[in-house]
Amino acid sequence: MDVAVSSDDDQTNLLRLAAGGFRDMTRIASSHPDIWPDICLANRQAIMNALDEYATGIARVRKLIADGNQPELLELFKRARHARRGLLPVTASGEDMIEMLVPIPDRPGVLAEITTLAGSLNINIVDLQISHSAEGGGGVLSLVVSASQASSLESALESTGHTSSRSVIS
């Protein structure tokens, strides 16, 4: 956040439009600042090592962009996506998980409507995330469910006027 607001450019409007992913990365900035200097100094070496690795990675990405190396950028994003998906929960049985993306309007009760629908079908939502549209007016609800339950949820969503798309994530 400090880098974003310290820029010479006026970033105020850009920060207001920042999507959920950016807000997720800035949670430390929203916490009480008094605790962080002590945490950083108590973990000085580990944090410095992590920052060195991060700086090396950022320099590599910068070079790929500067060189116009589209194939390597694509591979980098594929690896990152694969790693991110590895953070998602898995079922005890090891069953594949399905991510369902449901466009939702910005109105009271829509989240409850969809989660109650899943609950009424005895469908466990393993993970849930809302990505808000930068333009306002709605967003996309991401639901992670087991593969064996995805078709039932998809049909139920359609019957209530919601569209969805899905992909296997494990």
Q: What is the DSSP letter of 88?
A: S
* Tens of pLDDT, residues 16-40: 555 555 556 667 777 888 999 999 9
- Residue 143 predicted with pLDDT over 90: yes
What stretch(es) of the chain map to CATH 3.30.70.260? 97-168
What is the Cα–Cα distance from 78 to 97, expressed in whole angstroms?
Answer: 19
User: What residue has token string 């694509």?
Assistant: 74
Percentage, residues of the chain above pLDDT 70: 79
Candidate from 58-62, 84-88, 98-102, 110-114 with smallest mean pLDDT: 84-88
What is the Cα–Cα distance from 4 to 10, expressed in whole angstroms?
Answer: 9
The b/e string for 49-59 (b: 16+ C-beta within 10 A; e otherwise) is eeeeeeeeeee
Fold exhibited by the domain 97-168: Alpha-Beta Plaits (3.30.70)
Q: How confident is the model at residue 9 (pLDDT cuts 50, 70, 90)?
A: low
